[in-house]
Homo-oligomer: A and B are copies of this chain.
């Protein structure tokens, strides 16, 4: 039970996903319209909303697919020697996250500020990110007066801050990379 008719359902579901991915690769995340997705998938509008709770849910799924791909790469990397390597490793993912303001806004909204009730896909990528970064911090030449997990949460906070400033009119003299470098050095290797 709860698994009848699954064949047709799965087909429709993947048709919708395919259509959405097509729109995004041809245009952008921001330009995606539910209307166009259902048109391409050849289904009615209502069908979309019986497969995804809302448009954001689809977007969250598609965006976290990308993020998870970056995390897969990051997981393969061994310990990192210094902050420079750190930033260099994270840069591809950061570039994706800030490639569209729409993407960054959605990530921000669902990263931690996500629905209390249900843990979303993006929220889980943030969790995963903390784990990956923690593992690096546990063995690298970084401060050890606080736990790797706390350190990693800090890295995340500074990452978000640096990305946010990229979109800000007041602070675009310095590059995202330089800014992040400054933040992370101060956070990971304080020199009292």
Contact between chains at B145 and A111 (CB < 8 Å): no
How many residues from A make CB contacts under 8 Å with B?
A: 42
Interface residues of A in 77-119 (CB under 8 A from B): 101, 104-105, 108-109, 111-119
0/1 string, A175-192, CB within 8 A of B gives 1: 000000011001100111
A154: chain B residues within 8 A (beta carbon): 158, 161, 183, 186-187
A108: chain B residues within 8 A (beta carbon): 108-109, 113, 164
Additional pairs, 14, CB under 8 Å, beyond known A118-B169, A150-B186, A157-B183: A101-B113, A108-B164, A112-B161, A112-B165, A115-B169, A116-B168, A119-B170, A123-B169, A145-B186, A146-B186, A154-B158, A154-B161, A154-B187, A160-B160
